[in-house]
Amino acid sequence: MATAPSSQASLLLQKQLKDLCKHPVDGFSAGLVNEDNIFEWNVTIIGPPDTLYEGGFFNAIMSFPKDYPCNPPVVRFTSEMWHPNVYADGKVCISILHPPGDDPNGYELATERWNPVHTVESILLSIISMLSSPNDESPANVDAAKQWRESRDEFRKKVGRCVRKSQEML
């Protein structure tokens, strides 16, 4: 008898969580929001050194679909975040979190989009990389992208406020 997709997803997520607990990765921590739900994770991303986000502790929720890893999770910051690739509601917009296949908007190659070989670790490392190198060419937050391009000092100040707020929430 074949295993149902949600049980396969559950087993894979349990393994990835166990691996992260055994071998923590610099730059983030991860755990379950609720011990009874393997499909929703709490993550804290530490602002990368030598970036505007340095010193920040940014909380997010990773919500995995029942058919993971065939489709990507949704990652949404619950901490305030000002970044060209993060929507106003906190949802992260990077290529590897977009469903597999061709981009209906024609911005991304299929090879840049979700691939089932990605893990929680590779996703979070990609988000850390995104914090280091914003992509303002196809922004989720047009205002942040415009400020990043045209008024870097104001952008820096706004990110600094987000970093301070994240520290106060500890």
**5-22 and 120-132 helices cross at what angle (nearest 10)?**
60
pLDDT of residue 1: 40
Contact assessment for residue 78 and residue 63, using Cβ atoms and an 8 Å cutoff: no
pLDDT interval class at 98 (50, 70, 90): very high
Nearest to 83 by CA among 30, 40, 146, 126: 146
Question: Catalytic annotation on 70?
Answer: no
* Mean pLDDT across the chain: 94
What ranges do the domains of the chain cover? 5-168
3-state SS assignment for residue 98: coil
Query: Does residue 2 have a pLDDT over 50?
Result: no
pTM of the model: 0.92
5-168 belongs to CATH 3.10.110.10? yes
Name the catalytic one among 21, 70, 93, 162: 93
Place of tokens 């929680």: 120
Write out pLDDT tens, residues 117-130.
Answer: 999 999 999 999 99
